[in-house]
Amino acid sequence: MSIITGFLFGLSTLLFVGPVLFYLLKSTIESGFKAGVAVSLGILLGDAIYVALALFGTESLINQLEYQKWFALFGGIILLTIGLKYVLKPNLNTEVNGKLKNKRYIAYFVNGFLINFVNPFVFVVWLGFTAYNTAHYSFNETVVSLIVTLLVILATDILKSYFSNRLASLIKPDKMRRLTTLFGVLMVLFSIRLIVFFYLEL
């Protein structure tokens, strides 16, 4: 039963629309499927760290308002920087040749990790998943459920990358410019949300 719970929790994340989703799609369209996979693995690392923190009893630390507040500011600055780059200096290359250097893949991995990890609202989601599991299952069953959730999220992120990659050949430079600007504006809006959270809790 814990496996089913983990699977359903993983699928439920498809309903979440956040900055990391837009970065995943943008990266894949910009540089191909492998770039999307790199972003997906970065997202997985951030989520796995949250799971470990929640499982080993640091919920109280994560739930502290002061901790959330400063993470919101840090995350807001990162998202604002990426968003402004997309708006002011968009990459309009739509030719995906799969020949990125390893350093570029590492950059996509790190950005995927950071965009996901510095979002304090992601904390809340994983704490909710962990709390539900620990209330209904043994520790080992909880671990299995959360691992299944992580794997489902990874699989769906890779699928998103696969299908968004197929759009690259259909997008012309003028449309790519508008799409890139849209992603940038959305990033900026998410960053404002985080920064506002910081100032409201001062």
**Model confidence over 148-174: pLDDT tens digits?**
999 999 999 999 888 886 665 555 666
Q: What is the three-class DSSP state of 99?
A: coil
DSSP 98: S
| N-terminal to C-terminal alpha carbon distance within the chain | 43
Query: Whole-angstrom Cα distance, residue 119 to residue 72?
Result: 6
- Cα angle 59-65-66, degrees, rounded to a multiple of 5: 110
Neighbouring CB atoms inside 10 A of 66's CB total: 9
pLDDT tens track for 101-160: 566 889 999 989 988 887 777 777 887 788 788 878 888 888 999 999 999 999 999 998
30: exposed, middle or buried (Cβ count in 10 Å: 0-12, 13-18, 19+): buried
Length of the chain: 202
pLDDT at 153: 94
Question: For 21-30, 44-53, 70-79, 145-154, which range has the lowest pLDDT when averaged over its residues?
Answer: 70-79
Query: Whole-angstrom Cα distance, residue 71 to residue 67?
Result: 6
pLDDT at 119: 74
Amino acid at 18: G
